[in-house]
A = this chain, B = another copy of it.
Amino acid sequence: MVKETLSGPAAAEMELGTVLRALSDEHRRAVMVELAADEEDRERTCNSFDLPISKQTQTHHFRALREVGLICEIDYGNRKGIRLRRSDIDVRFPGLLGILAAEARKPEHAHG
């Protein structure tokens, strides 16, 4: 019941290089595309993204996204919540989330 929120750098301290490198990985980008496409910014769980990789690797990727400032993680002890830092990203890199959200509307990303 600790609910400690883990955040990365402040909006102004985000670096374009590290952000782009984080987004160059297909699995991390898939996570960000889903988050960017959700206009309601719902909190997600790690499992809800259906990543075809092991638990350890998921930990690695979510940590990477957090450390560059794209998401924050809420620690519930035995599970974790994922939240997009939409307002911070919109301030620091306006247009970035729009590019990602557009990917969710491309045919090859339609899962239903």
Contacts and interface: CB of A to CB of B under 8 A. Distances in A.
A13 interface: no
A19 to B, nearest CB: 9
A6 interface: no
Contact of A95 (B16, B20, B23, B98): B98
Interface of A: 16-17, 20-21, 23-24, 26, 29, 93-96, 98-100, 102-103
18 contacts: A16-B29, A16-B99, A17-B24, A17-B26, A17-B29, A20-B23, A20-B29, A21-B24, A23-B24, A93-B99, A93-B102, A94-B95, A94-B98, A94-B99, A95-B95, A95-B98, A95-B99, A96-B99
